Amino acid sequence: SVTTEFPACRSGFKNKEVTPTKGGYFENGIGYETVTPNVLNLGVAPAILLERVAQRFKENGGVVMEQTRLQNVAVSEALGTALDLGEEQDPVTARLVLDCMGNASPISRQQRYGMKPDGVCCVVGSCASGFDKETNLIGDIIYTNTEIKDFGDSGSLQYFWEAFPVGIGRNGNEPGTSDTKTTYMFTYLDADEKRPSLQTLMDDYWELLPVYQPSITDPEEDLDVKRVLFAYFPTYRDSPLKPQWSRVLAVGDASGIQSPLSFGGFGALTRHAERITGAVSEALEADCLHKDDLGEINAYTPNLSAAWMFQKAMSVKVGQKVDPKFVNRLLAVNFQQMDDMGGKTMTPFLQDVVRFDGLVGSLARSFKADPLFMPQIVAHVGLPRLIDWLGHLSMMGIYSALHATSPVVETLVENIESDPREKFRWRRRMEAWKFGSGSDYILDNIEN
């Protein structure tokens, strides 16, 4: 299912388009860029992936019910669950229901009823051919080339870009042979009703695309557009979502386990797949299907909560006045420090794994590099939110320390604890320490 592979992705934050950019933000007055290998460098064909996953599921006894609408789910704590598939289908019974319906899940929406999203990531983009083949060699994971744009009463937005080559590196397709790439423009904002529409963002995307991709001058004339994307991804601070009902567990985007910085949670779900499958299997074996037991699977993870500060720092509230260069300066300085610290700091961060050691180290170096910027950061995010974030940062340190004790705790639990439910809960706590501190990320294969 992997049809594209390229060596690396660029990260860059600039007040205007200058490529390449040499030196740091204060040396060139423009910004900073760096290239990181083996990050977001694979392209997957969704149709092939789904076909193979479905086939493997069926081979293991699973049943796929295509074009079947789920009407509702009835839950009995004592007996199990029943899925109502409409009048023409017999109901399906199960001991446990996994909600994998994404951030638009009606089950999650019912549980979050009346809650306004704490943040939104709006994305527009396209896949098209017609770009320069010779420069279509690596991707952009996060990139800016404009300052914050003022929309008047609709607030201000910082635009970010992503781009990925299509059809190189696999199946005999050498780099430099494809003129096709996917480009996205995205931004972070709150859910204020005054915000610009996706149509406005799409208009800006087509207007700014030739600046970002200078091998074209007129997208309508120069490009053969394969498909167009526009979407918004709501995010909630109260995540991962603990179950409100027994025998129903949200996983993936439905649980909010993805980073508030990412579009969606395919990467987050694959990162947690082994943990979730193991926990679900044990829950069924030990009959730990009460909502309190299942809540241990979607436990508090301080590094996910800490990531909220980054989204708030990269967005501007409606009515808030800010230096148009604020976001570029913040990210350019911070990324330069992470880059100087090496791949073991940069690579996990770009793969949405926030680690305590890397975060504390990069923040300390950023403060030293640009100490006069700190008052602006505090004013931008607000003191109460900063204090809240410091609490999550402290918990990351505590979870890192607790994870170091896991081998001893696991031995004690296995040898002393006889209650299957308590064993289940202690294993989930140890997993929360591991994943909540980013200690699940394997650093051995990364070169500094």
94 and 83 Cβ atoms separated by less than 8 Å: yes
Of the pLDDT bands very low, low, confident and very high (cuts 50, 70, 90), residue 393 is: very high
Whether residue 445 has pLDDT greater than 80 = no
**Banded model confidence at residue 165, pLDDT cuts 50, 70, 90:** very high
pLDDT at residue 416, rounded to an integer: 85
- In the prediction, which pLDDT does 159 show? 98
Residues 144, 219: Cα–Cα separation, whole Å: 19
Instruction: Please state the rounded mean pLDDT for residues 141-153.
Output: 97
d(CA 176, CA 138): 10
Given a cut of 90, is residue 446 above it in pLDDT?
no
User: What Rg do the C-alpha atoms of the chain give, in angstroms?
Assistant: 23
pLDDT of residue 270: 86
Average pLDDT for 296-306: 95
pLDDT-based confidence at residue 205 (cuts at 50, 70, 90) = very high
- The per-residue pLDDT for 4 is 96
- The pLDDT value given to residue 444: 79
pLDDT in tens, 87-146: 989 999 999 999 999 989 999 999 999 999 999 999 999 999 999 999 999 999 999 999
Rounded average pLDDT over 177-183: 97
pTM to 2 decimal places:
0.94
- For residue 123, what pLDDT is reported? 96
pLDDT confidence band for 447 (50 / 70 / 90): confident
Residue closest to 332 by CA, chosen among 9, 16, 6, 7:
16
Given this model, what pLDDT does residue 251 score?
94
In this prediction, residue 386 has a pLDDT band, given cuts at 50, 70 and 90, of very high
Q: Which of 156, 87, 167, 83 is closest to 131 using CA atoms?
A: 167
DSSP 256: T
Over the stretch 14-67, which tens digit does the pLDDT of each residue have? Answer: 999 999 999 999 999 999 999 999 999 999 998 999 999 999 999 999 999 999
How far is the C-alpha of 241 from the C-alpha of 256, rounded, in Å? Answer: 6
For residue 169, the surrounding DSSP H or E stretch is none
Q: What is the predicted pLDDT for the residue at 258?
A: 86
Residue 34: per-residue pLDDT? 97
DSSP one-letter code for 60: T
Mean pLDDT of the chain: 95
State the average pLDDT over residues 320-334: 97
Tell me, what's the pLDDT at 266?
A: 76
Instruction: Note the Cα 246 to chain centre separation in Å.
Output: 27
Average pLDDT over residues 154-167: 97
